[in-house]
Amino acid sequence: MMVVNNIRKMRDISARARGEGGRVVFVPTMGSLHEGHLSLLKRGADFGGLLVMSIFVNPLQFGPGEDYLTYPRDIDRDTEMAEDAGADVVFIPNEAEIYPEGFQTSVDVPFLGRNLCGHFRPHHFGGVTTVLLKLFNIVEPHVAIFGEKDYQQIVIVRRMVSDLNLDIEIDTVPVVRERDGLAMSSRNGYLKPDERMAAGAIYKALLAGKSCFDSGSRDASIIIGEVEDVLSVQPMVSIQYVKICDLDTLEDVDTIEDGALLAVAAMVGRTRLIDNCKLYTTPEIDSCTDGSAGTERAMVW
């Protein structure tokens, strides 16, 4: 496995792979890897070709008072995990090269970014799309892989790729969870032991919402009420939002017709956690099937 810090070298590696007729598969991350990230790499290996993972803690997607300076960083651990998971290249660019002096260009998808997390983090998705476009231009992947825990991000990235005519396939991997259902996140490490136990209420709340839906309710307000009832029992969990949205536009819906996204954001102590579940009216589609993520302690949902 190669560790690359220079943009020119990364471009050369990708160009060589493309020139030899190979496929370039890309997994962008901010590091602090966990089983969720490794599931993306394992999915990437299924495509064959050159598997590239980036590690870059992107300052543009953090707002004032957020955890940019304290975001967990452990490059040695991350590169070892990436190599074990089959990465061919780990691209770790320097911030000064990504954002040189005088940098001022940005990319935004404002309509899709105004609801859900975008309402509470108004500059977040503009930072995400700007850095991803830069990384896409550097790595030149045929395929980029993202985790469905960040569902809003996936919808936004797909729109950017379509709007800007980028020749990139966006592939996704289901949410990977701890044994108690908590969605894996680098920020889970911030949780104190009692907060970690309390955070399990988010998964239980999603299950309550899905159970209400599976029982026949299509009224978004009723399903949301079921989710909020479960979360409100846990005093360490402060609801930021519980929403049911259109899967494509991310706009709130009052009545679920074909399918919808049930999304939750909550503060547990000082840690912000997000999670979601897709609700499908088509019986043969079930977004909540348990499976193996390669370890006994993890499951995919």
> Residue 138 and residue 126: Cα distance in Å, rounded?
19
Q: Is the dihedral of CA 198, 202, 203, 208 positive or negative?
A: positive
For the segment 32-59, the average pLDDT, to the nearest whole number, is 97
**Total length of the chain:** 301
Question: Helix 75-84 and helix 35-47: axis angle, to 10°?
Answer: 40
pLDDT at residue 296 greater than cutoff 80:
no
For the segment 273-295, the average pLDDT, to the nearest whole number, is 67
> Residue 168 and residue 24: Cα distance in Å, rounded?
10
Question: Would you name the residues annotated as active-site residues?
Answer: 37
The model's pLDDT over 128-175, given as tens digits with 9 standing for 90+, comes to: 999 999 999 999 999 999 999 999 999 999 999 999 999 999 999 999
Provide, rounded to the nearest whole percent, the portion of the chain with pLDDT above 70. Answer: 94
Q: What is the pTM of this model?
A: 0.94
* pLDDT at position 287: 59
What the chain holds in terms of domains, given with CATH numbers, is 2-173 (3.40.50.620), 178-300 (3.30.1300.10)
* pLDDT at position 281: 85
CA-nearest of 278, 243, 287 to 118 is: 243
* pLDDT at position 286: 55
pLDDT at residue 294 greater than cutoff 50:
no
pLDDT at residue 290 greater than cutoff 50:
no
The model's pLDDT over 16-27, given as tens digits with 9 standing for 90+, comes to: 999 999 999 999
The model's pLDDT over 99-124, given as tens digits with 9 standing for 90+, comes to: 999 999 999 999 999 999 999 999 99
**87 within 8 A of 53, measured Cβ to Cβ:** yes
3-class DSSP state of 165: coil
For the segment 30-54, the average pLDDT, to the nearest whole number, is 97
For the segment 43-68, the average pLDDT, to the nearest whole number, is 96
The model's pLDDT over 181-196, given as tens digits with 9 standing for 90+, comes to: 999 999 999 999 999 9
Alpha carbon 189 to its chain centroid, in Å, reads: 17
